Structure 1
């Protein structure tokens, strides 16, 4: 009857030991693991993004010998986002106007690509709606479908259905001749202000038409961005696409998409922090092997409506600067410590509840013995024999469950048993003296050796 408390106390100790062993195992695994492996999407086959990923892995592994990167091949930017969603990748390269991972958060911005609508110098086209019913060229390659989709979104803003503007996917060197021979009236190229599809398309048109191409601006860029946040307003400086003659001939407000590294929401803050700061510090080295690395930048922490929020681990670094290892580790002590503390409190509560239940059983048993002893004072022979059986049952119940009470409570049960036995002996003697048949109650051993 009294062993429940002791058993729960043992269970509490076992749980505490398990928690401590688990915490120690995690600590040892972190400190002594030979290396960590991070899976990263490779970028579309043949794209500049793929070459950048290769350069990034080379530099990152040189900086962090204990980190290894495993590439996850993908056929498109949409597959890259899905790889992150499905847990097949830890870092994914994505484009803001392509499919975005539902579980993703931003680590760093890799580059901005302007959406350039380029027309020959003699063209009467001055805005995107003027392309209705006409054909345009889009540079062929790994990103051609994404570039075409970007055009669809912009046409949608002007309530123009995509099928109203025909597309031809052409090699960049063929775009200029296609415009010269009026197969197409314009070209839509998405690329950085620097080496890339947009700059090369301007050069192709200029060479074929023997004139300086024009790049269309977007006077309603802010309105487009509010409706389609995958775009951003982007000022292309004079000569951004061609130095002499300058294309554009003045600063033009255009639209742009961006490439970024996305990581899962579940990535530990300390890991996201380490990767993010490594990319920023390795920027100069990356530029030596991948020129596009010059555009790498940290996300804007103050952006209230980001397309993909910044991972909080890296955001903390951007907002507060370097933190000591203790400061970073302290968060995880809270994360693991709070559940452990709650668990210990729950165990203590359960032990207290079972202990209280055990104490009530003890009180009920004592009250039962007292009741038997009190009734034995006036019982006749027949009733005394019945009470004697009840006494034996109560004693047997106590002995069958040894140790159910705390040792400090044992004396109460022993005292009540002795009291009951004396009452039985006195009543039996009284009944004998009165001439009634006698049956002496059997002695019950209540010495400590039978108690817990």
Structure 2
């Protein structure tokens, strides 16, 4: 505060009169304080909304993923991903929903019970499914164990010779039977002319050793342990199995877009001699991770990013993760790609600012507008306080003129007390921001002149004879005038 004002304030407070109680806050000041509180509350509310919006935008999202059957590599992979995402506090978390197989997972997605599912590409893909990633490629393996005992005379070297025989299908899923039927139809073999039996994967080796079928079909990754163990069981007692090549693989792929022509490299299943001893033509189909249509593009893009980032970390435990590929983004893809996955593949993922820049901009505009409105409202409420202070200053100037004409010290004391109150009000106005530094300086000059006038008039009155001062004082006390 201006040193002169401090000095004048001290002088007014020690003018010989009893201290005057400070005036109670005026209603304009009280209203101004309420307006300030309201403005601050509005600002804090907007900041709170922004903070809350950021929290809800960035809080983890949990996606339910259907996967099966129990104890399969797919289930183990999803469980490992779930653990990995949780440990790294990733944006997307997984909640596995175990099913009996890919068909049941597809049904769960179609019914809206899950957000993600691992399905086979050769199944009836749900209409609400959109591709996120290609988990792996599966190949069909057809082979005939070496003939033994009563079946020593049976020699099958081509698919067309399967008619009239018993075919063992490894796995309980109907999808493998459908796959076999597709192959048989391509070679003109009527499925009704042969017997098809299914064995659980865990019982496949025993079924082969016990010669429960003449030929077998397995479907899975090229490095599938289930397939490798089943083929090893076929050669345990010597002799090598005969692999039935699907030479019409390209024709099948043309007629059934979910399949692709593929090859099984020589020696894929190991052993001595190596199995197979030469390259075998076959067909393949994909296992996909699909998302339910309508799930946030941002969420799926984040999931795809996390999935491919974790792929390298899981290679030791799950070598098949090296085969995880991005989905087909072509418009004519068998399974349409999810927009979020497409954004990840194309490198067009939206950042936080990209997604919420409009909301942030409008929030900042609202905050600025609130501040401006609050400042205007506070200034409006100070209008009466400024007017009141201007009136008090005019009163001080009037007292300045009266002080020069005063005839008693009592009158000077009364005006001094009133000036003290005016001083207090003016200082309160300045502290509250109702008046500016320039107005305070003008008040300072007027107050200084008033004190000088009082001091000069008091000195003049004190120099008068006592009888004149007494008579003048008595008249002032009796009538209030001289």
TM-score by length of 2: 0.57
After superposition, residues 180-199 of structure 1 pair within 5 angstroms as 183-199=212-228
Extract unaligned runs of 5+ from structure 1. 1-20, 338-452
- Residue number in structure 1 paired with 2:118: 93
1:30-49 map, 5 Å: 31-32=55-56, 34-49=59-74
Tell me which of 86, 95, 118 is aligned to 1:61.
Answer: 86
Separation of aligned partners in 1, 2:271 and 2:348 = 41
Shift of residue 239, structure 1, vs aligned partner: 1.0
Structure 1 residue 297: Cα displacement:
1.6
Aligned partners of 2:50, 2:254: CA distance in 1, in Å? 46
Q: Which digits, 9 at most, give the CA deviation of each residue in 1:141-194, with x for residues without a partner?
A: xx4433222212222334434322212334222243244xxx422111112111
Q: 1:86 to 1:333 in 2, by over 3 A?
A: farther
User: Does the 8 A contact of 1:175 with 1:205 survive in 2?
Assistant: no
Q: Which has the larger radius of gyration?
A: 2
* Equivalent residue number for residue 408 of structure 1: none
Q: Which runs of no fewer than 5 residues in structure 2 stay unpaired?
A: 1-44, 148-153, 363-482
Query: Of the candidates 152, 166, 180, which is equivalent to residue 151 of structure 1?
Result: 180
Task: Output one character per residue of 1:25-65: Cα deviation in whole Å (capped at 9) or x when no partner.
Answer: 79944533643221111322232222222112112222334
Confirm or deny that 1:177 pairs with 2:228: no
Give 1:74 shift: 2.0
The partner residue of 1:310 within 315, 328, 337 is 337
Tell me if structure 2 keeps the 8 A contact 1:117–1:187: yes
Partner in structure 2 of residue 220 of structure 1: 248
Per-residue deviation, 1:116: 0.4
Structure-1 separation of matches of 2:247 and 2:208:
26
CA distance in 2, matches of 1:26, 1:240: 58
Secondary structure in 2 aligned to 1:273?
Answer: helix
Q: How many residues get paired? A: 305
Does structure 1 residue 138 correspond to structure 2 residue 169? yes
Distance 1:101 1:299 in 2: 17
Aligned-pair CA distance for 1:317? 2.3
Using the TM superposition, give the Cα deviation of residue 224 of structure 1 relative to its aligned residue in structure 2, in angstroms.
0.4
Are 1:201 and 2:249 an aligned pair? Answer: no
Residues 110, 129 of structure 2: 8 Å contact kept: yes
SS in 2 for 1:129: helix
Offset, 1:67: 3.6
C-alpha contact 2:66 2:99 (8 A) present in aligned 1: yes
CA 26–119 in structure 1, closer or farther in 2 if over 3 Å, else same: farther
Partner of 2:263: 235
Q: Deviations over 1:354-387 (max 9, x none)?
A: xxxxxxxxxxxxxxxxxxxxxxxxxxxxxxxxxx
Q: Is residue 111–residue 296 contact of structure 1 (8 Å, CA) maintained in 2?
A: yes
* 1:98-134 per-position Cα deviation (integer Å, ceiling 9, x unaligned): 2321110111111112110011357742332221111
Is the CA contact (8 Å cut-off) linking 1:110 and 1:261 kept in structure 2?
yes
Does structure 1 retain, via aligned residues, the 8 Å contact 2:261–2:284? yes
What does the per-residue CA deviation read over 1:320-352, in whole Å, with 9 as the maximum and x for residues that have no partner? x3646168528x969xx9xxxxxxxxxxxxxxx
Conservation of the 8 A alpha-carbon contact between 1:59 and 1:285: no
C-alpha deviation, 1:307, in angstroms = 1.9
Which residue does the alignment assign to 2:289? 261
Distance 1:219 1:333 in 2: 58
Q: CA RMSD in A?
A: 3.0
Cα distance per residue 1:377-430 (max 9 Å; x no partner): xxxxxxxxxxxxxxxxxxxxxxxxxxxxxxxxxxxxxxxxxxxxxxxxxxxxxx
Partner of 1:380: none
State the partner residue of 2:160: 129
TM-score normalised by length of structure 1 = 0.61
Q: 1:26 to 1:258 in 2, by over 3 A?
A: farther
Deviation at 1:205, TM superposition (A): 0.5
Q: C-alpha separation between the residues in 2 aligned to 1:127 and 1:327?
A: 61
The structure-2 alpha-carbon separation of the partners of 1:234 and 1:304, relative to structure 1 and needing over 3 Å to count, comes to farther
The answer to whether 1:115 aligns with 2:140 is: yes
Q: Is the 8 A contact 2:301 2:349 kept in 1?
A: no
